[in-house]
Amino acid sequence: MAEVRIGVYVCHCGTNIAGTVDVEEVARYAKQLPSVVIARDYMFMCSDPGQALIKSDIKEFSLNRVVVASCSPRMHEPTFQRACQDAGLNPYLYEQANIREQCSWVHEGDEATQKAKALVEAAIRRVSHHEPLEIKEIPVNPNTLIIGGGIAGIQAALDIADSEHRVYLVEREPSIGGHMSQFDKTFPTLDCAACILTPKMTAVGQHPYIDLFTYSEVEEVSGYIGDFKVKIRKKARYVDEERCTGCGVCQEKCPWKTDSEFDIGLGKRKAIYFPFPQAVPMVPVIDREHCAYFLKGTCRACERFCEAKAINFEQTDQILELEVGAIIVATGYDLMDPTPITQYGYGRFDNVITSLQFERVVDCVGPTGGKILLKDGTQPKSIAIIHCVGSRDQNYHTYCSRVCCEYALKFSHLIKEEIPDADVYQMYIDMRCFGKGYEEFYDRLSHEGVNFIRGKVAKVTDEAVTDEERGRLVVIVEDTLLPGVIRVPVDMVILCAAIEPRSDAEEVAKLLKINRSIEGFFMERHPKLEPVSTPTEGIFIVGCCQGPKDIPDSVAQALGGASKVLSLISRGKVSLLAATAKVDEMRCHGCGRCEEICEFHAPKVINKNGVMVSEINEALCQGCGLCAVTCPAEAISIRHFTQEEIKSMVDVLTES
Amino acid sequence: MNGFNLSRSIRTRQLLQVRRMRKITEFEPRIIAFTCNWCAYSAADIAGISRFHYPANVRNIKVMCTGMIDPGYILRAFERGADGVLVAGCEIGDCHYISGNIKAKERVERLKKLLHILGLEDERLRLEWIDAGDGRKFADTIENMAGKLKKLGPSPFKKEVKS
Amino acid sequence: MTLEDIIKETKTYYCLECGKCSSLCPISRHNPSYSPRLMLEKALTGFEGDLINDQELFSCLTCYNCSLKCPADVDYPLFMQKVRTLAFAQGRYGVPADSGILQSFMRLMLNPAIEQRRLEWLSDEYRISEKGNILFFVGCAPYFEFAFEDFEAGALNIAKDSLKILNTLGIEPMVLADEKCCGHDLLWTGDVESFRKLAEHNARIIKESGAKKIIFSCPEGYRTFKFDYPHYVDLDCELQHITEFLAENMGKGMLDFKEVKKKVTYQDPCRLGRHLGVYEQPRKLIEAIPGIELIEMEHTRDESICCGTSAWTNCDAYSKQIRTERLLEAKATGAEMLITACPKCQIHFRCAMVSKGEEKGPDVEMDVMDIVNLVASALEDNGSE
Ligand SMILES: Cc1cc2nc3c(=O)[nH]c(=O)nc-3n(C[C@H](O)[C@H](O)[C@H](O)COP(=O)(O)OP(=O)(O)OC[C@H]3O[C@@H](n4cnc5c(N)ncnc54)[C@H](O)[C@@H]3O)c2cc1C
Ligand code: FES
C-alpha cells in the first residue's frame, strides 16, 4: 500500500468552534501525529476559499487522505467529499471530526479542546484505514410489473402508462377491479362504485402502454432493482381472447350453474361466465370444475352458439417471461371468514351475513337486484350491524381494520334509503371516523334515526325468550353507555369482518423476497418516511396488501408507488451504495447465518466449485452491517466501516 | 453594594478553587458511545444545536446502525479502560434497516450476561433508544450515565488500576 | 526470546526439509498453499519479517499431527506458539473467531480488581467441599454457555455432569469461585504476558486451597497445567483428565451403568490424544456402558483429525472443511452419536452443523455429546438420589 499522507483541516466556524476550542492547539496536535503531512486551522472551511485550500493541498502535498474537523458530517460531509473528488481524490478517503455540534457547542474550556483533539486523532486513525470505493451504476429497465388489479393496481398502472412506459398488469381473477367492483356505493361521498371504477377499468383495458394479463399469476421472480426477470403463468380460459367479442351468448346458453364467487355464494353463475357485467377484459372463462364437457365429455353448448368461434377446449396454460425494472405489489386483502367466531352464528343462521355479502345484496346488479331481502325473500324490518368482528380482538387480530365504521355507516344509510322504517342498530366499540369528511358523514348518519349501541356483541342466537324474539335473531350486548345487558331482536345481522392479509401473502412475500409485519401484511421500508418502499430495492407495495385502508388511501399509495417507479425510470439508472458488505471467500463457512439475518436478501449461499460460500448481491445490500457481526468466521466486512476502522477509533477515544 | 460584590467575588473564587481541587481528585469517567447515524448521532447533533450542555466524558463513534456494532468493539473499549459504553439506536420499529436494533438489543443482552459472570457492574454497559430529534434525551442520558459511573468509580480495567 | 532461541528450543535446525509435515497437515490437505515446511524454512533462512507477517501464522491447529511423525522430531506446534509470541509483540494476532470476544474476556479476566460470578449455576444439587484434596477445574464453561447460546454448545452441562459423576463416586471436590481462564488460548495467541498473569493467579489460589489433585473435564486446561504452567509457575499437584480418573475408579464397583442402546463413535481431541497421550481411558469408559457399541472412525487415535480450530486464533473456510471432513467420517461409521472429550470440539462441531442458507452443503447433522454427559446419562436413576 502506498504511504498514507493525511491533510487535517480544523475549522474555526467563526467563533462557533474557535470561541470554545483552541483550534490552533488542535491543529498543532494533529500535525505531529503519524502520517499527517499538513494540519491547518481556517476561519470557514466550508467556504469556497476553505475548500480551495483542501484542493490545492491535495495537489501540492500529494495528500491521499483528508480529515476536516468542523461541524457534523450530517451537515457538510458531502461538501468536503466533493472538494476531494474535484481534486482527484476518491470521496471515501475523507473523514470528518464533529467538533462543533458534539463538542464546542456542548462543552467548555480545556475539556472541549481536549475532546476536540481526541476526535481529530480518532478521525486521523480511521482515515488511514479508508479505501477508495467505487460508486457503481446499473441501468433501469423502463418496464414495470404490477401485481394485482384492484383499485390500487389499476391506479398505479394508469399513472405509469400515461408517461408512455410499458406496464404489465397481472391479475389473478378473470377480471380486474378487486374488491371495489363488488361495492354499490362508496363512503363517505356515497358515489356509485361502478361509476368511478368502470371508466378506469376500461382505460386499463384499452391503454396502449398496458399489457393486461388476467386469470394469470406470477410464478417466479429473480434479479434486482433495474433488472428483474419474471415468469407469469397465464391460465387457460378456453376462450380465444382475440376472437371473443364479449357478446355473452355462451354464458346465456350454458346449462350448468354453480355458486358465484363474486356474489360470495349469494347468487349463481354459469360454468362459462363473466364474473360481473362490467368485467375487463370482456372475455369469459370456462370453469373446468363445473363444465360438463370437462367433467363428462359432452355438452359444448357454448362452442355451438359462439359465432366468433372463440371457444377453444384445447387451450393450455402459457408461461410468459418478462423483464422489468421495478415491481409494484397491489394484491389487496381478504375479508376474514367469521365462521370461527361461533358465537355470531355465521354459517349457522341464514340471515347472518358478512359486510361484503351485504355489499352484493345492495348492489343493483347483485343477486337480489339491489333489494335488501332475507333468505326467504321477505324484507327485513330490523338489522343489526356488528362492528369489529375479528378486529381489535386479541383472539383474532389486534389491529383496527380502519374501514368498518365507515362502511357500517354507509350500510345504515342504504338500508334507511330503501326501508325507511327499518330499525338499524350499530353495535360498536368506538366510532373511528378519522378521514377527510368522515366525521361529517357520521354526523349526517346520526340524524337519520340509526341506533348506536356502544358495546361488543357477546352473542347472536335464535333462542327466543319472548314472543317478540320468536323466529328472529337475538343480539345480546351490553349497552355500556346505559349500563345493562340488552337483547335486541332483529331479522338480519351484518358482520363487519376484519380485513386480513391475503391467504397466500406468505408465498407472495417469499416469491418477491419482501417481508411481512407481525400481522402478516407486507412490510414497508419505514413506517413513516418510506410507506410504499420495501427493504428490497425496486419493489413497492401499495393499497391494502400493506395494511387495511380505504380507497382514498389506497389510491394515494398507488400514486406514491407510481411516482417512485417513474423517478427510477426517468433517471434511467440507479447508483448502488458503495459502503456495502464484502465476503472473504477464504474465510466463509457457507453456514448461511448472513443469509438468514439479512432483511434485504443480499447474501446468498451458493455452491462455488463444490464449496459453499456466501455471495453478496451489491444491488440489494444496504450496508447495515448485520451480517458482518453475525458471521462467526469474520468472513464478512463492511466497506468503510471495517473492524480495523472502528477498533482504531475505540482505541484512541478510550485513551484520550 | 460593595460588600455584596466583594462577598460574591470571594464566593466565586472559593467555588473555582473547589472546582479546581475537585478536578484533581475527582475521577472523570470515560464513556464510549456507539451511536446510530440515523437517530442517536443526529440527536447528539440536535443537543449541540440546542446548546444542551452535558459532561465532556463521552466520545461518540458513529455507526450506520446499532446492528453494526460488534460485541468485540464494546469489549475492546472495556479492555482499553472505558468506564462505560453506551449503545444508542433508533426506537424499536424505527430502525432504518428494520431489525438492526432488535439484533443489537439481543447482542447487548447476551454480552451483559457474560459481563455479569466477569463481575462487571451492569450499569457500565447501557442500551438506549434515542430519537433523531431528541437532543434532550441524548444530553440527559450522558449526564445520567456519567453521574452513575462517577459513583461506581473507575472501571476495574482502567490502565492505572492494573497491577 | 529471539527467533534464534526459538529455533533452538524447538529443534527446528534439525529440519530435513522432507515435507512430511505438509503431507500430514490437515490444513495443507485443504489449502495446498499452506506448508509447515515452508514456515520453518522462512525461519531458518532468516526471513523473520516474512514469517511474522505471514497470514498463515495463526492458521496452524497445533494438532501435533506433523510433529508426532517428524523424522527430525521438530516441535512445530511449539515453534508456532513461540513465533506467535514475537508476532503478538508487534500487534499481530490473526483473525480470531467471533471478532475475538472470547480472547477479550480472557484478558479482562486476568485483572486482579474483578470479582467473577462464575459459579452462579452451582445449585444445591451438586455437593462440593470448602476444603479437601481434590479440586475440580471448571474452566471457561460458564462463559461458553452464553457466548454460544445460539447453537447450544452445552459447555456448562459438562461441568455439571462432571460434578454429578464425582458425587456419585462419593467425591465432593472443591471448586474455586475466583478460578480464572487457564490461559491456553492466550498462550497460543502469543500473548504470554497475559498468560503468565493467569497462570500465576491460578497457581496461587490452588496452592491456597490446599488441593493435592486437580481433575479437568477440559483437555486444554489439563494440557496447559501439565506442560505450560511448569515454565511459569510452580505448582505441585497431581493432574488428571476426568476420563483418566473415572477409568481408574471404574473397577471399584461404584459406577453402576444402566444400559444405553446406542452406536457411537469417538473423537480424540488433539490435546487429550496427541498432546497428552490419553487414548485408551475414554474408550474403556465408553465400552463399560452396557448396550453401547463403539465404532472407530477411519482416522483414529494418533491419526485422528482435529475439529478444525484451536485457541480461536483463526476459523476460516479451511477450518470448516476440516470439520466437515471429520463429521462425514463420523457419519460414515453408521454411529448415531459422536462422542468427544473436549468442550471446544463440541462447540466447533455444532457450529459446523448450523446451516441457515437456502443452499445446503453436505449433510453433517449428527448428535454430538461429551463423554462426561454420556457417562452421566448412563448413571442416571442408578445414582445415589
Ligand atoms: C365491506 C367493505 C366495504 C368497503 N367500502 C368502502 C368504501 O365505501 N369506501 C372506501 O374508501 N373503501 C371501502 N372499503 C375498503 C376498500 O375495499 C379497499 O380500500 C380497496 O378495495 C383496496 O384496494 P386494493 O387494490 O388495495 O385491494 P383489492 O381490492 O383487494 O384488490 C387486489 C387485487 O389483486 C388481485 N390479486 C390478489 N393476489 C394476487 C396475486 N397473487 N396475483 C395476481 N393478482 C392478485 C385480486 O384478485 C384483486 O383484484 C370497503 C371494504 C370492505 C371490506
Ligand atoms: S438504523 Fe438506527 S438502530 Fe438501526
Given a cut of 50, whether residue B3 has pLDDT beyond it is no
Ligand 2 atom, smallest distance to B96 CA: 1
Q: Residue C152 — pLDDT band, cuts 50, 70, 90?
A: confident
Please count the structural domains in chain C: 3
Pocket of ligand 1 (CB under 6 A): A 147-153, 170-173, 178-180, 183, 186-187, 217, 330-333, 335, 355-356, 359, 403, 407, 410, 499, 502, 504, 508, 543-544, 549-552, 554
Given a cut of 60, whether residue A302 has pLDDT beyond it is yes
Beta carbon of B130 within 6 Å of any ligand 2 atom: no
On the 0-12 / 13-18 / 19+ scale of CB atoms within 10 A, A48 is exposed
Looking at the structure, tell me whether residues C82 and C161 fall in a common domain: no
**C-alpha separations of C350 from A25, C218, C324 in Å:** 55, 17, 11
Cell of C110: 486476568
Residue C255: per-residue pLDDT: 83
Q: Residue A607 — pLDDT band, cuts 50, 70, 90?
A: very high
Which chain C residue lies closest to B76 (C-alpha atoms)?
C104
Cell of A461: 342466537
Q: Residue C290 — pLDDT band, cuts 50, 70, 90?
A: very high
Looking at the structure, tell me whether residues A128 and A84 fall in a common domain: yes
Contacting chains of B (3 CB pairs or more, <8 Å) are A, C
> Does residue A656 lie within any of the structural domains?
no
Residue A359: per-residue pLDDT: 97
Residue B96: per-residue pLDDT: 87
Cell of A432: 373511528
> Does residue C117 lie within any of the structural domains?
yes
**Contact between chains at B73 and A118 (C-beta distance less than 8 A):** no
The residue from C249, C269, C294 where one domain ends is C249
% residues pLDDT > 70 (chain A): 100
Helices (H), A322-454: 355-362, 404-418, 438-446
Residue B132: per-residue pLDDT: 87
Looking at the structure, tell me whether residues A217 and A271 fall in a common domain: no
Given a cut of 70, whether residue A214 has pLDDT beyond it is yes
**Contact between chains at B118 and C105 (C-beta distance less than 8 A):** yes
Which chain B residue lies closest to A72 (C-alpha atoms)?
B45
| C-beta separation of C218 from C153 below 8 A | no
Helices (H), A572-642: 593-597, 626-630
Using the Cβ of B109 and the Cβ atoms of chain C, whether some distance falls under 8 Å is answered with: no
Residue B20 neighbours by CB under 8 Å, 6+ apart:
none
Distance A330 CA to ligand 1 centre (A): 9
Return the CATH number at A164.
3.50.50.60
Angle between helices A355-362 and A404-418 (to 10 degrees): 30
> Does residue C42 lie within any of the structural domains?
yes
Using the Cβ of C363 and the Cβ atoms of chain A, whether some distance falls under 8 Å is answered with: no
**C-alpha separations of C137 from A409, C134, C159, C211, C286 in Å:** 75, 10, 9, 11, 22
Q: Residue C384 — pLDDT band, cuts 50, 70, 90?
A: very low
Per CB-CB distance under 8 Å, the chain C contacts of A586 are: 316-318
- Kindly report the nearest CA distance between residue B79 and chain C, in angstroms: 6
| C-beta separation of A593 from A631 below 8 A | yes
The residue from A500, A532, A548 where one domain ends is A500
pLDDT, tens only, A630-646? 999 999 999 999 999 99
Domain that holds residue A250: 236-316
For residue A607, what are the β-bridge partners?
A612
> Does residue A596 lie within any of the structural domains?
yes
**Contact between chains at A632 and C361 (C-beta distance less than 8 A):** no
| C-beta separation of A597 from A630 below 8 A | yes
Residue A287: per-residue pLDDT: 95
pLDDT, greater one: A51 or B7: A51
- For B29-154, CATH number out of 3.60.21, 2.60.120, 3.90.550, 3.40.50 equals 3.40.50
Looking at the structure, tell me whether residues C224 and C118 fall in a common domain: yes
Over residues A428-437, mean pLDDT = 94
Looking at the structure, tell me whether residues C102 and C171 fall in a common domain: yes
Given a cut of 60, whether residue B14 has pLDDT beyond it is no
Please state the separation of Cα A254 from the chain's center in Å: 41
Residue A87: per-residue pLDDT: 96
Beta carbon of B111 within 6 Å of any ligand 2 atom: no
Given a cut of 80, whether residue B26 has pLDDT beyond it is no
Looking at the structure, tell me whether residues A358 and A489 fall in a common domain: yes
Looking at the structure, tell me whether residues A349 and A212 fall in a common domain: no
**Chain A contacts in chain C segment 268-297 (CB below 8 A):** none
Over residues B28-32, mean pLDDT = 95
Given a cut of 70, whether residue C263 has pLDDT beyond it is yes
Q: Residue C106 — pLDDT band, cuts 50, 70, 90?
A: very high
**Sheet strands side by side (includes C337-340):** C292-294, C262-267, C337-340, C367-370
Residue B2: per-residue pLDDT: 41
The residue from C66, C89, C112 where one domain ends is C89
Would you call B41 helix, strand, or coil by DSSP?
A: helix
Helices (H) and strands (E) in chain B — how many of each? Answer: 5, 4
Please state the separation of Cα A330 from the chain's center in Å: 8
| C-beta separation of A460 from A347 below 8 A | no
The residue from A82, A105, A133 where one domain ends is A133
| C-beta separation of A576 from A137 below 8 A | yes
> Does residue C384 lie within any of the structural domains?
no
pLDDT, tens only, A365-408? 899 999 999 999 999 999 999 999 999 999 999 999 999 999 99
> Does residue A653 lie within any of the structural domains?
no
Over residues A157-171, mean pLDDT = 98
Measured from the alpha carbon of residue A526, the closest ligand is 2
Which of A579, A625, A592 has its CA nearest to residue A91? Answer: A579
Helices (H) and strands (E) in chain C — how many of each? Answer: 18, 7
Over residues A467-475, mean pLDDT = 94
Given a cut of 60, whether residue B16 has pLDDT beyond it is no
**Least CB–CB distance from B75: residue in C101, C115, C117:** C101
Looking at the structure, tell me whether residues C109 and C207 fall in a common domain: yes
Looking at the structure, tell me whether residues C101 and C212 fall in a common domain: yes
| C-beta separation of C107 from C194 below 8 A | yes
Cell of B124: 457500565
Looking at the structure, tell me whether residues C243 and C182 fall in a common domain: yes
| C-beta separation of A553 from A544 below 8 A | no
Rounded to 5°, the CA angle A526-B60-B73 comes to 85
Half-sphere exposure of residue A599: CA atoms within 13 angstroms, side-chain side: 26
Q: Residue C381 — pLDDT band, cuts 50, 70, 90?
A: low
Cα separation of A132 and A129, whole Å? 10
Would you call B134 helix, strand, or coil by DSSP?
A: coil
Q: Where are the domains of chain B?
A: 29-154
| C-beta separation of C81 from C188 below 8 A | yes
Cα separation of C253 and C211, whole Å? 26
Run of H or E including C65: helix C65-69
Residue B1: per-residue pLDDT: 38
pLDDT, tens only, A514-545? 888 889 999 998 888 889 999 888 999 999 99
Cα separation of A220 and A513, whole Å? 11
Please count the structural domains in chain A: 5
Residue C124 neighbours by CB under 8 Å, 6+ apart:
none
Cα separation of A498 and A416, whole Å? 24
Distance A129 CA to ligand 2 centre (A): 24
**C-alpha separations of C288 from A127, C266, C378 in Å:** 63, 14, 10
Looking at the structure, tell me whether residues C133 and C28 fall in a common domain: no
Given a cut of 50, whether residue C297 has pLDDT beyond it is yes
Kindly state the DSSP code that residue A457 receives in the 8-state scheme.
-
Query: Average pLDDT over chain A, rounded to whole?
Result: 95
Residue B7: per-residue pLDDT: 47
Rg of chain B over Cα atoms, rounded to whole angstroms, equals 19
Residue A612: per-residue pLDDT: 94
The residue from C64, C89, C114 where one domain ends is C89
**C-alpha separations of A61 from A30, A52, A65 in Å:** 16, 14, 11
Please state the separation of Cα C364 from the chain's center in Å: 22
**Contact between chains at A647 and B76 (C-beta distance less than 8 A):** yes
| C-beta separation of A526 from A517 below 8 A | no
> Does residue A139 lie within any of the structural domains?
no
Per CB-CB distance under 8 Å, the chain A contacts of B53 are: 106-108
Per CB-CB distance under 8 Å, the chain A contacts of B125 are: none
Cα separation of A116 and A111, whole Å? 8
Looking at the structure, tell me whether residues A19 and A125 fall in a common domain: yes
Residue B17: per-residue pLDDT: 56
Over residues C310-333, mean pLDDT = 96
Cα separation of A543 and A154, whole Å? 11
Beta carbon of B39 within 6 Å of any ligand 2 atom: yes
Looking at the structure, tell me whether residues C300 and C206 fall in a common domain: no
Q: What DSSP string runs through A149-202?
A: -SHHHHHHHHHHHTTT--EEEE-SSSSS-GGGGG-SEETTTTEEHHHHHHHHHH
Residue B5: per-residue pLDDT: 44
Using the Cβ of B64 and the Cβ atoms of chain A, whether some distance falls under 8 Å is answered with: yes
Per CB-CB distance under 8 Å, the chain B contacts of C98 are: 72
pLDDT, tens only, A53-110? 999 999 999 999 999 999 999 889 999 999 999 999 999 999 999 999 999 999 999 9
> Does residue C383 lie within any of the structural domains?
no
Residue B8: per-residue pLDDT: 46
- Kindly report the nearest CA distance between residue C113 and chain B, in angstroms: 5
Cα separation of A551 and A572, whole Å? 31
Q: Residue B4 — pLDDT band, cuts 50, 70, 90?
A: very low
> Does residue A648 lie within any of the structural domains?
no
Query: Average pLDDT over chain B, rounded to whole?
Result: 86
Looking at the structure, tell me whether residues A350 and A460 fall in a common domain: yes
**Contact between chains at B80 and A624 (C-beta distance less than 8 A):** no
User: A172, A180, A201, A499: which to mutate for ligand 1, most atoms within 8 A of CB?
Assistant: A180
Given a cut of 90, whether residue A563 has pLDDT beyond it is yes
Cα separation of C238 and C217, whole Å? 15
Residue A603 neighbours by CB under 8 Å, 6+ apart:
A581, A583, A594, A595, A614, A615, A616, A617, A621, A627, A636
Given a cut of 90, whether residue B25 has pLDDT beyond it is no
pLDDT, tens only, B49-77? 999 999 999 999 999 999 999 999 999 99
Cα separation of A513 and A491, whole Å? 48
Looking at the structure, tell me whether residues C222 and C298 fall in a common domain: no
Given a cut of 60, whether residue C385 has pLDDT beyond it is no
Which of A569, A624, A575, A578 has its CA nearest to residue A167? Answer: A569
| C-beta separation of A533 from A564 below 8 A | yes
**C-alpha separations of A461 from A352, A377, A474 in Å:** 10, 21, 5
Domain that holds residue C200: 97-249
- Kindly report the nearest CA distance between residue A29 and chain C, in angstroms: 25
- Interface confidence, given as ipTM, is 0.92
CB < 8 Å & 24+ apart, contacts of A292-295: A292/A255, A292/A256
Cα separation of A337 and A226, whole Å? 39
Residue A2: per-residue pLDDT: 81
User: CB pairs below 8 Å between B and C: how many?
Assistant: 62
Which chain C residue lies closest to A612 (C-alpha atoms)?
C361
Given a cut of 70, whether residue A49 has pLDDT beyond it is yes
Looking at the structure, tell me whether residues C103 and C201 fall in a common domain: yes
Cα separation of A23 and A37, whole Å? 18
b/e per residue C252-282 (b: at least 16 CB within 10 A): eeebebeebebebbbbbbbbbbbbbebbebb
**Contact between chains at B118 and C98 (C-beta distance less than 8 A):** no
| C-beta separation of A616 from A638 below 8 A | no
Cα separation of B68 and A566, whole Å? 33
Place of cell 462422542: C339
pLDDT, tens only, A565-601? 999 999 999 988 999 999 999 999 999 999 999 999 9
